[in-house]
Amino acid sequence: MFGSRKPQTTPTTISSKPETVIGANTRFQGSLTSDGNIRIDGSVEGDIEVLGNLIVGETGRVIASVKAQNVHVSGAVKGEITAMEQLEISPTGKVWGDITAAALHIEPGGLFRGQSAMTTTIDEPLLLEAPRPSNG
């Protein structure tokens, strides 16, 4: 019946709609900064700094140094990515480069080639000692 169609799912890291969209037929070179959210379906080359969330759609191609609150990749990204909270790579997503994120989620089929580091506010724990054999 009407309304029984399943709603289109959005990336789990993205809770609000993008404020800026770079369309599939658009190419951008340079520094891109925003206080809000950005969705890229076209090509971007340079530096991207977003205080909100960044979505790279399936047709999106990014060669850049990226810094954002959350990053969701369904297209291709080549370059360093810093996600303050979470980086999510969908089954169609491809990332080549080093990443830094508090959380990393790669769905089956997603590609990541590079090094990753996790950020945290928790102090590094002391090294644990091996259990001592009991003499009992």
Q: What is the pLDDT of residues 10-66, one digit of tens each?
A: 444 445 566 899 999 999 999 999 999 999 999 999 999 999 999 999 999 999 999
Say which range, 7-11, 43-47, 77-81, has the weakest mean pLDDT: 7-11
Quote the pLDDT of residue 85: 94
Name the β-bridge partners of 96. 78, 113
Taking only Cα atoms into account, the Rg of the chain, rounded to an integer number of angstroms, comes to: 19
pLDDT category at 72 given cuts 50, 70, 90 is very high
Distance CA 26, CA 17 (A): 20
pLDDT category at 120 given cuts 50, 70, 90 is confident
Residue with tokens 């954002």: 68
Residue 132 vs residue 114, higher pLDDT: 114
Per DSSP, 31 falls in state E
69-73: average pLDDT: 97
Output the six-digit token pair for 124. 């590094």
As a whole-number percent, the residues of the chain with pLDDT over 90 amount to: 72
The pairing of beta strand 61-73 with beta strand 76-78: parallel
